[in-house]
Amino acid sequence: MSDAVLYVVATPIGNLADITHRAVEVLQSVALIAAEDTRHSGRLMAQFSIKTPMISVHDHNERQRVTTIINKLSEGENIALISDAGTPLISDPGFILVRAVREAGFKVVPIPGCSALITALSAAGMPSNSFIFEGFLPAKSLARRQQVEVIADETRTVIFYESTHRIVASLKDMMTVLGADRYVVIARELTKTFETIHGAPLGDLIEWIEQDHNQQKGEFVVLVSGAPEKEDTGFSSETLRTLDILLQELPMKQASALTAKLTGEKKNALYQVALERKG
Ligand code: SAM
């Protein structure tokens, strides 16, 4: 067994000056760079005079590439993994490769740097001690709303990635589920020329972004403030979630009765909770 290393190297999310000295050193010194898109990464390589050969490792060939890369490591060649932007594996390819390389007994060394979610969180002014990252929401509206329902009662800050094509539709689906008052920050084009970090209740945020087409362009991190802590009702979060979903569609009596049937809880007690939740 050779002691070759797979380096997992973070690259900038826009501003090339954000690359670390260590990342450049590693990319210059390894035998091979496994890049998500070799053409895309060509610009970075040219900027820092990195002449190391590259192979592509993306969502559609990652499994096949595992064998090639493990063979090269076995021959004693160090390899670096990069993605198009930010930290590999964070909503990017690399998980299958990293797991296989570790299982094969080789060392995997992270070279830390940018990630859009941490960059956004550091400047959004949202609670940041504890948060959850959900990656991209589904492309279709129904699935997207269902996914947002899952985090509707989450009390921690929830972070999503979003693209220019879906930002408005996603914010609208969030408003359908979370209401117009939920405070949301969007962090657009971080580290780039048109960097914008803007926060408002969802209703106002949607109005703002719809009025200015330029604000819909580019790459987005969406940070949703956590739901307020609910007082202890004595019911499990699953029961309360069922009740909340049914309350969106049905009168309180029916919603409570149906939740009681589904969960085996008492109808009257659920009705009291429904009254409180409807304010
Ligand atoms: N691996 C990357 C990371 O560590 O952040 C994320 C890759 S993911 C395929 C691309 C998404 O990340 C974009 O659609 C956007 O949601 C977010 N993103 C990447 N760069 C960004 C930037 N400069 N500003 C805002 N969001 C960005």
Calculate how far, in angstroms, residue 133's C-alpha sits from the geometric centre of ligand 1: 12
Three-state DSSP at 208 gives: helix
Averaged confidence pLDDT in the chain = 95
Residue 279 has pLDDT above 80, yes or no: no
* Residue finishing a domain among 114, 130, 154: 114
* Helix extents (H) in the chain: 21-29, 38-47, 62-74, 95-103, 116-124, 141-151, 167-178, 202-211, 237-249, 252-263, 267-277
Residue 230 has pLDDT above 80, yes or no: no
CB of residue 124 inside a 6 A radius of ligand 1:
no
User: In this structure, is residue 232 part of a structural domain?
Assistant: no
User: In this structure, is residue 22 part of a structural domain?
Assistant: yes
Residue 169, token pair as written in the block: 């539709």
108 and 155 in a single domain? The answer is no
Nearest-10 Cα torsion for 265, 269, 274, 277: -110
Taking CB atoms within 8 Å and a gap of at least 24, the contacts of 44-52 are: 44/11, 44/12, 44/16, 44/19, 47/16, 48/19, 48/24, 50/24, 52/27, 52/28, 52/80
109 and 129 in a single domain? The answer is no
CA atoms within 13 A on the CB side of 135: 7
User: In this structure, is residue 159 part of a structural domain?
Assistant: yes
Q: What is the pLDDT of residues 159-194, one digit of tens each?
A: 999 999 999 999 999 999 999 999 999 999 999 999
What is d(CA 125, CA 18) in angstroms, rounded to the nearest whole number?
22
106 and 205 in a single domain? The answer is no
Rounded mean pLDDT, 230-259: 89
CB–CB of 32/55 below 8 Å?
A: yes
- Number of domains forming the structure of the chain: 3
Calculate how far, in angstroms, residue 159's C-alpha sits from the geometric centre of ligand 1: 12
What is d(CA 140, CA 120) in angstroms, rounded to the nearest whole number?
25
109 and 18 in a single domain? The answer is yes
Residue 241 has pLDDT above 80, yes or no: yes
User: In this structure, is residue 231 part of a structural domain?
Assistant: no
Specify the pLDDT at position 1: 75
103 and 123 in a single domain? The answer is no
Q: What is the pLDDT of residues 2-54, one digit of tens each?
A: 899 999 999 999 999 999 999 999 999 999 999 999 999 999 999 999 999 99
What CATH number did the domain enclosing 163 receive?
Answer: 3.30.950.10
In degrees and rounded to multiples of 5, residue 208 shows phi and psi of -60, -45
Specify the pLDDT at position 168: 98
Confidence of residue 276 (pLDDT cuts 50, 70, 90): confident
User: In this structure, is residue 230 part of a structural domain?
Assistant: no
* Residue finishing a domain among 114, 132, 154: 114
206 and 254 in a single domain? The answer is no
CB of residue 50 inside a 6 A radius of ligand 1:
no
Calculate how far, in angstroms, residue 165's C-alpha sits from the geometric centre of ligand 1: 14
CB of residue 15 inside a 6 A radius of ligand 1:
no
CB of residue 242 inside a 6 A radius of ligand 1:
no
Residue 58 has pLDDT above 90, yes or no: yes
121 and 90 in a single domain? The answer is no
- Domain limits at 131? 117-224
Above pLDDT 70, what percent of the chain?
99
What is d(CA 51, CA 31) in angstroms, rounded to the nearest whole number?
10
What CATH number did the domain enclosing 15 receive?
Answer: 3.40.1010.10
39 and 26 in a single domain? The answer is yes
Specify the pLDDT at position 9: 98
Specify the pLDDT at position 267: 94
User: In this structure, is residue 229 part of a structural domain?
Assistant: no
110 and 121 in a single domain? The answer is no
96 and 123 in a single domain? The answer is no
Calculate how far, in angstroms, residue 259's C-alpha sits from the geometric centre of ligand 1: 40
Q: What is the pLDDT of residues 34-46, one digit of tens each?
A: 999 999 999 999 9
Residue 237 has pLDDT above 90, yes or no: no
User: In this structure, is residue 248 part of a structural domain?
Assistant: yes
Confidence of residue 67 (pLDDT cuts 50, 70, 90): very high
What is d(CA 206, CA 80) in angstroms, rounded to the nearest whole number?
41
Choice from 221, 222, 223, 224 to test ligand 1 binding pocket (greatest atom count within 8 A of CB): 221
Residue bearing the CA closest to ligand 1, atom 2: 86
Report DSSP state, residue 213: G
CA atoms within 13 A on the CB side of 81: 28
Report DSSP state, residue 228: P
Calculate how far, in angstroms, residue 161's C-alpha sits from the geometric centre of ligand 1: 7
* Residue finishing a domain among 69, 90, 114: 114
Rounded mean pLDDT, 101-113: 98
Query: Exposed, middle or buried by CB within 10 Å (0-12, 13-18, 19+), for 49?
Result: exposed
40 and 60 in a single domain? The answer is yes
Above pLDDT 90, what percent of the chain?
92
User: In this structure, is residue 161 part of a structural domain?
Assistant: yes
Residue 184 forms beta bridges with which residues? Answer: 200, 224
16 and 110 in a single domain? The answer is yes
Cα end-to-end distance, the chain, whole Å = 66
